[in-house]
């Protein structure tokens, strides 16, 4: 009887372990395709304020004579600062039409304020309020390289994304009918990073090709930010 009980117990333990491994695998797959915003302390080992201090030190380290400026290196660092150092703190911060928070994870932030706050915290001397309330085309013209700005009206989303791909890797700003956000071309995929006004109503990073907000907008204006040498020089100097 004791032997039978031991066999049954071992069988139950084995099946429990198998089920646990299956559940872990499913959860990992879910997180892979539906990323959940992580707490700020898991994103970086420093506070948001400390991160901005580090960024200022980086900008100073890149300051050289104009004749020696390596724009490829500066652009690479600039994009990394925005996409990898600043924005991750904001993921999960709630959206609100009147959201004006300056601190990620606290309060709420509107789409325009998200752009202006991120750019200010990356090192630009901008009027966060005025720019955050401006039309998307005004925001884009403030930051983007003029020759890269293009308007799409009543065109399929694929045409906009094809244009972004043709401009190469880097950071863009896109304006829609009633919305504005970042587009990030990492060389493989194009990501839409924005303060989303529909579920989950928060700052998110999602595949641009599957974004309903991008798809259904009749108006799209796109400009590449990271290739703007004038902007890159300002980033080092301000």
Q: What is the pLDDT of residues 9-63, one digit of tens each?
A: 444 444 544 444 444 443 443 333 233 333 344 445 699 999 999 999 999 888 8
pTM of the model as a whole: 0.81
Q: What value does the mean pLDDT take over residues 206-234?
A: 97
pLDDT, position 161: 98
**DSSP for 130-157, written as a single string:** HHHTS-HHHHHHHHS-GGG-EEEES--H
Q: Do 83 and 133 reside in the same domain of the chain?
A: yes
Q: Do 17 and 121 reside in the same domain of the chain?
A: no
Task: Give the distance, in angstroms, between the CA of residue 219 and the centroid of all CA atoms in the same chain.
Answer: 21
Instruction: Tell me which residue range forms the domain holding 8.
Output: 1-34
- Specify the range with the lowest mean pLDDT, choosing from 28-37, 127-136, 140-149, 188-197: 28-37
pLDDT, position 66: 54
The radius of gyration of the chain's CA atoms, rounded to the nearest angstrom, is: 22
Q: Do 104 and 143 reside in the same domain of the chain?
A: yes
pLDDT, position 233: 93
Give tens-digit pLDDT for 63-99: 865 567 899 999 999 999 999 999 999 999 999 999 9
Q: What value does the mean pLDDT take over residues 189-213?
A: 98
pLDDT, position 67: 61
Task: Give the distance, in angstroms, between the CA of residue 32 and the centroid of all CA atoms in the same chain.
Answer: 16
Instruction: Name the average pLDDT for the chain.
Output: 85
CA distances from 65 to 54, 68, 69, 90, 124 (A): 22, 5, 6, 34, 20
pLDDT, position 63: 81
Which 3-state string (H, E, C) describes 164-226?
A: HHHCCCEEEEEECCCCEEEEEECCCCEEEEEECCCCCCEEEEEEHHHCHHHHHCCEEEEEECC
Q: What value does the mean pLDDT take over residues 151-162?
A: 98
C-alpha–C-alpha distance, residues 103 and 90, integer Å: 8
CB of 179 closer than 8 Å to CB of 225: no
pLDDT, position 44: 53
pLDDT, position 190: 98
Q: Do 196 and 127 reside in the same domain of the chain?
A: yes
Q: Do 58 and 22 reside in the same domain of the chain?
A: no
Q: Do 223 and 142 reside in the same domain of the chain?
A: yes
């Amino acid at each position: 009887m004791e032997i039978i009980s031991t066999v049954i117990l071992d069988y139950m333990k084995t099946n429990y372990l198998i089920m646990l491994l299956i559940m872990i695998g499913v959860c990992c797959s879910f997180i892979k395709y539906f990323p959940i915003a992580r707490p700020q302390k898991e994103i970086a080992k420093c506070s948001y304020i400390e991160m901005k201090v580090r960024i200022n030190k980086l900008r100073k380290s890149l300051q050289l004579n104009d004749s020696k400026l390596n724009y490829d290196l500066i652009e690479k660092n600039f994009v990394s600062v925005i996409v990898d150092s600043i924005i991750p703190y904001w993921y999960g911060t709630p959206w609100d039409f009147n959201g004006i928070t300056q601190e990620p994870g606290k309060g709420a932030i509107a789409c325009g304020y998200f752009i202006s706050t991120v750019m200010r915290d990356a090192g630009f001397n901008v009027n966060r309020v005025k720019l955050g309330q401006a039309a998307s085309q005004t925001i884009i013209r403030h930051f983007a390289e003029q020759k890269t700005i293009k308007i799409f009206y009543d065109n399929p989303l694929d045409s906009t994304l094809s244009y972004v791909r043709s401009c190469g890797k880097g950071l863009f700003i896109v304006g829609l009918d009633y919305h504005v956000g970042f587009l990030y071309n990492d060389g493989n995929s194009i990501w839409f990073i924005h303060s989303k006004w529909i579920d989950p109503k928060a700052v998110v990073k999602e595949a641009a090709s599957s974004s309903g907000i991008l798809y259904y907008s009749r108006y799209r204006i796109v400009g590449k930010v990271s290739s703007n040498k004038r902007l890159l020089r300002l980033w080092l100097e301000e």
